Amino acid sequence: MKRNFSRIFFFGVFIFTVILTNGCATTYNAATGRREIIIIPTNEEVTMGEDIHRKLLTEFHLSQDKNKVGRLKRIGARVSQVSDRQDFEYHFFLVEKDELNAFTVPGGNIYMFTGLFDKLKTDDEIAGVLAHEVGHCAARHTIKKFQAAVSYSLIGSIILNTLQMEEQLQRIATLSTDVLMNLVFSAYGRRDEFEADRLGIKYLDLAGYNVNGMLEVLDVLKQESKGPRMPLILQTHPYVEDRIEAVKKEIERLRSGG
């Protein structure tokens, strides 16, 4: 009992040390307006994203259609330029797959499937999807899913054995690929979805796109969810009906200058 307590105490000291060695106890997040504890620094996050990208390329093919890829990257660049988070570069990838899906991995890599891209008619709608994903990046929702998993893994290993602190730190970047992949395709929470929509609308507006693009995309997903195949994007981004109501209110608020 006493032994367990001392290890839990050690974990507290460890987290405190990680926070100290990262420069400060909390970081102000301009997108959310909150101060947050960020354990995984940006360079570590980018490395994690590169690892996941390599793994994704073994499972998926990127589209070779220069027009479509160019359009996606052009719209993505315009939307991400106005993001509150600029400590990494954003990259946009079009995956050749006939499914309605879009997702984000740590480090600013954002993916859209051709099935969704082809379903969207206007640049405003494509921008709507990308702005929502950029919102997840800016608010650090994506890295926080991973950070939570890292923390659990660290707590477990520290309590169960006595690895040195250096080794524990190295573990941050070496979660198994299966764990990483499961996290990529795991759902965001309700609050994160609403926040990504709110930020997405803000970025659409700042980038000069029609904010209705966001609403049109959600309507497409709502219609498709009634069909034979549930859109994959709703697995990672649930609560579509409630989001439509919240997005309408947010657009009204924006128009009334509130």
- How distant, in Å, are the alpha carbons of 86, 156, 161, 185 from that of 135? 12, 31, 38, 17
* Comparison of 97 and 145: residue with beta carbon closer to Zn ion: 145
* Comparison of 115 and 128: residue with beta carbon closer to Zn ion: 128
- Applying CB under 5 A, which residues contact Zn ion? 193, 196, 237
Nearest CA to 179 out of 197, 152, 211, 217 is that of: 152
CB 189 → Zn ion: shortest distance, Å? 10
Residue of minimal Cβ distance to Zn ion: 237
Question: Do the Cβ atoms of 121 and 69 come closer than 8 Å?
Answer: no
Q: What does the buried/exposed string (b/e) look like for 171-197 if buried means 16 or more CB atoms within 10 Å of the residue's CB?
A: ebeebeeeebeebbeeebeeebbbbbb
Q: How far apart are CA 118 and CA 130, in angstroms?
A: 14
Residue 68 tokens, joined: 């479509």
CB 156 → Zn ion: shortest distance, Å? 28
CB 237 → Zn ion: shortest distance, Å? 4
> Under 8 Å CB-to-CB from 211, ≥6 apart: which residues?
201, 204, 205, 251, 254
Chain-centroid distance of CA 250 in Å reads 21
CB 102 → Zn ion: shortest distance, Å? 9
CB 133 → Zn ion: shortest distance, Å? 7
* Comparison of 10 and 239: residue with beta carbon closer to Zn ion: 239
* Comparison of 39 and 131: residue with beta carbon closer to Zn ion: 131
* Comparison of 41 and 238: residue with beta carbon closer to Zn ion: 238
